[in-house]
Amino acid sequence: MSKPTIAVSIIGHNEASDLERCFNSVNWADEIIYVDCESEDNSIEIAKKFTEKIFTRKNELNLNINKNIGFSKATSEWILYVDPDEEIPKEMSDWILDEIKNPKAAAYTFKRKNINIGKWLKYGAQYPDTQLRLFKKEKAYFAAKGVHEKLSVDGNIMNTDLFFLHYAYPSFSTYIRKTQFYTDTEANFLYDAGVKPGFAPFMKYVIYKPLTRFIKRYFFKLGFLDGMRGLGAAFFDALNFPLRYLKLWEKYQK
């Protein structure tokens, strides 16, 4: 029986500061696929140190379009999707290589530890942050309708207790940059879905959602135990909703 093969798929836009750490953590894979989305830094030069399978694409606001492109370029039987600011520990990679020899599922979830400004956020609904990342090729895809949507899987899913690392926010300024990107995407999604500014959407996105989200994450989910990092995470998470509504309103003004 031939040894099962696995591809790691990564997409990135100006991720040079994280890419080398990410690539080093997945150099055990049979193939690494990197889709570069119009980077203006030296991301491609870094990627060339680790793989020849480099593809360039338009920097789509909906990241999942290019994630699907990366999946389609894989020739291996299994795919592990990894973001550039993530790192796969050896314990997880060893488990994956052993599991795909005799798989119990079509796809697998893992826990993600979010490292914000140098420390792991344990509270505020930041952990276990379950992510579906490993799947058999042709068994999973993104519908590409929203930036935070989950993979659609044709088959059974197995949850694991293994974790990987996510260096999402090295600084509070990173929160601002990423919030800008995500709210642009979500505003486009609302616009395309036909949502129009008005009393009900205003109450939902400007009042209800940010208020309840902050209270839930910071107080009920104990985000305050993570100190200023927990406050920042809860604040920017809540801020996402009124910002996407204001950007939606702006679209209708134009």
60 and 74 within one domain: yes
Q: Quote the Cα angle for 110-155-99, to 5°.
A: 45
As a whole number, mean pLDDT of residues 28-39 equals: 98
Q: Tell whether 88 and 128 lie within a shared domain.
A: yes
On whether residue 237 sits in a domain, the answer given is yes
Contact 44, 4 (CB under 8 A): no
Whether residue 130 is found in the same domain as residue 143: yes
One domain for residues 61 and 105: yes
* DSSP designation for 137: T
Give the per-residue pLDDT at 150: 84
Residue 1 is assigned to a structural domain of this protein: no
- The span from the CA of 58 to the CA of 43, in Å, is 15
Q: Which domain holds residue 223?
A: 172-253
Residues 6+ apart with CB under 8 A from 113: 120, 127, 129, 163, 164, 165, 166
What does the pLDDT average to over 57-67? Answer: 91
Question: Structural domain tally of the chain?
Answer: 2
Tell me which of 169, 192, 219 is where a domain ends: 169
The reply to whether 206 and 150 lie within a common domain is: no
pLDDT in tens, 167-211: 999 999 999 999 999 999 999 999 999 999 999 999 999 999 999
Mean pLDDT over 10-35 rounds to 97
CATH number of the CATH domain containing 25 = 3.90.550.10
Per-residue confidence band for 147, with pLDDT thresholds at 50, 70 and 90: low
